[in-house]
Amino acid sequence: MLTAIYPGSFDPITNGHLDVIGRASRLADRLVVGVLLNSNKNPLFPIEERVEMTREAVKGFKNIEVTHFDGLLVGFAERESAQIIVRGIRAISDYEFELQMALMNRRLKPDLETVFLMASEQYSFVSSRIIKEVARLGGDIGGLVPPHVESHLRARFQRS
């Protein structure tokens, strides 16, 4: 039984994340999406909302669970008995930081393998950060995030 974890801030989940999730779910028997609780990126959405939006987005998949985690990623992998960490790569600019994380995680837990999956090129410019900025300024983000995430963003920016 091959268990993979897909960690991230998911603030919020985008169609780029979902593209990677779809690919990873075909490779692993069980895929656990881990939403980081205490992201130092100062998230827009609280952890409960990030988990809820992510769960809603993956409800069509059978072998996917969504949970939150705190502390080291290798600790989360251990708790879930995962053999693989999945990370998505959009462009070569992502690679340097991802390599650094992968090598540190390998040092911390040598038997845990990081696997990079290439997101579809149609999402190569999509990031949660840029989605939030465009949504905050009233731009169209249709087709780049699931419809329910669009509603959360709209509601969030109407309040502020």
Concerning whether 17 is annotated as a catalytic residue, the answer is yes
Identity (one letter) of the amino acid at 13? I
Smallest distance from ligand PNS to CB 61, Å: 19
The burial of 160, by beta-carbon neighbours within 10 Å (0-12 exposed, 13-18 middle, 19 or more buried), is given as: exposed
Q: Which of 50, 87, 90, 132 is catalytic?
A: 90
Nearer to ligand PNS, 129 or 136 (CB): 129
Q: Which of 17, 50, 132, 152 is catalytic?
A: 17
List of residues contacting ligand PNS (CB under 6 A): 7-9, 36, 39, 72-73, 101, 104-105
Residues 6+ apart with CB under 8 A from 29: 1, 2, 3, 63
- Rank residues 20 and 135 by Cβ distance to ligand PNS and give the closer one: 20
Q: How far, in Å, CA of 25 to CA of 21, rounded?
A: 6
Please list the active-site residues: 17, 41, 90, 128
